[in-house]
Amino acid sequence: MPAGFWDYCFDNEYRQRRDIEELRDYESAIAGGVSTLGGYTQQLRKQVNDLSALVSVLVKMLEEAGQLDPKVLRYRVEAMLEEQQAAVQAAGPVDLASALNR
């Protein structure tokens, strides 16, 4: 007896194979996204490292030229960081979905 429409619709093996293929496609899409994020993370890490070196050199040059007091700079940086931390804590937790929809 040939397989009819209802046999096709209720074929559990077919649905399992279909679901497995859909999950494989989804997995490959996610893997591609993760590898892309890894590349962005590496780029950001390099930029932060480069900026850190730049700031260190600039501070040293200004200090050598007598244009900068390292104690005052340290105090101001710490004050700014504390101010930013207080602002973040006052704002509360960040909702990722609303942050991405801005």
Distance between CA 71 and CA 79 in Å, rounded? 12
Whether the Cβ atoms of residue 70 and residue 59 lie closer than 8 Å to each other: yes
Average pLDDT, the chain: 84
Predicted confidence band at 53 (pLDDT cuts at 50, 70, 90)?
very high
Residue 93 per-residue DSSP state: -
Length of the chain: 102
Residue-level pLDDT at 72: 93
Measured CA angle at 54 (ends 38, 67), to 5 deg: 155
What residue ranges do the domains of the chain occupy? Answer: 5-65
Res. 96: pLDDT tops 90: no
Distance between CA 27 and CA 21 in Å, rounded? 10
Higher pLDDT, 52 or 96: 52
Predicted confidence band at 98 (pLDDT cuts at 50, 70, 90)?
low
Distance between CA 22 and CA 12 in Å, rounded? 15
